[in-house]
């Protein structure tokens, strides 16, 4: 059974009268499993340890509020607002980068996020050279309940991207994510 980040945090402190080392270890594990990154997780855990020692955080609400504040503080608060996804249809996000950094996983999570917000999402499997890339994107598409446009291995990635956007326009899709 998959648990959300907040469910893992809730389980980590359930029945506890205080936040102890086991609780902090469980929170650290939940942060890492949530793709927070090791460096960021360690910063959050260090700050949480300081706060627990100082403020004696014990309740779930206190802990989640502190985590929300800490994660927000680590983000660039002055960053520009998220793009207006309704400004152009479809809104196309092309994800590129070196192999093994989590592009396809991120695309899957974004697909689930956007579809959960009521947007129509489509994926494009343009990574036609990496073994199992299309299969991996298929799995994420199924999890998110969104369609995926794909061609056979070795196909021209640009043609996959073009076909994906063309299909998305024809179907009134809101967001296109191309891997």
Kindly report, residue by residue over 68-79, the tens digit of the pLDDT.
Answer: 788 778 776 555
* Model confidence pLDDT, tens digit, residues 70-124: 877 877 655 556 667 767 789 999 988 877 778 888 999 999 999 998 999 999 9
What average pLDDT does the segment 17-31 reach?
A: 79
Residue of 136, 143, 141, 151 whose CA lies nearest to 177: 141
Which helix H or strand E contains 122, and what residues bound it? strand 121-124
pLDDT at residue 58 in the model: 62
Cα–Cα distance between 81 and 61 in angstroms, integer?
27
Residue 146 pLDDT greater than 90, yes or no: yes
pLDDT band at 1 (very low <50, low <70, confident <90, very high): very low
CB 116 within 8 A of CB 151: no
């Amino acid at each position: 059974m998959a648990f959300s980040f907040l469910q893992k945090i809730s389980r980590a402190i359930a029945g506890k009268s205080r936040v102890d080392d086991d609780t902090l270890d469980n929170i650290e594990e939940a942060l890492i499993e949530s793709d927070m990154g090791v460096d960021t997780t360690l910063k959050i855990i260090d700050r949480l340890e300081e706060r627990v020692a100082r403020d004696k955080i014990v309740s779930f609400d206190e802990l989640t509020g502190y985590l929300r504040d800490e994660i927000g503080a680590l983000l660039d608060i002055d960053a520009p607002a998220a793009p207006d996804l309704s400004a152009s249809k479809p809104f196309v996000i092309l994800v590129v980068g070196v192999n093994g950094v989590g592009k396809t996983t991120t695309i899957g999570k974004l697909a689930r996020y956007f579809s959960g917000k009521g947007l129509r999402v489509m994926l494009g499997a343009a990574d036609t050279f990496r073994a199992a890339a299309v299969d991996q994107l298929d799995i994420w598409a199924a999890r998110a309940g969104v369609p995926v446009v794909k061609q056979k291995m070795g196909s021209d990635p640009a043609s996959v991207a073009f076909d994906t956007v063309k299909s998305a326009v024809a179907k009134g899709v809101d967001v296109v994510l191309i891997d």
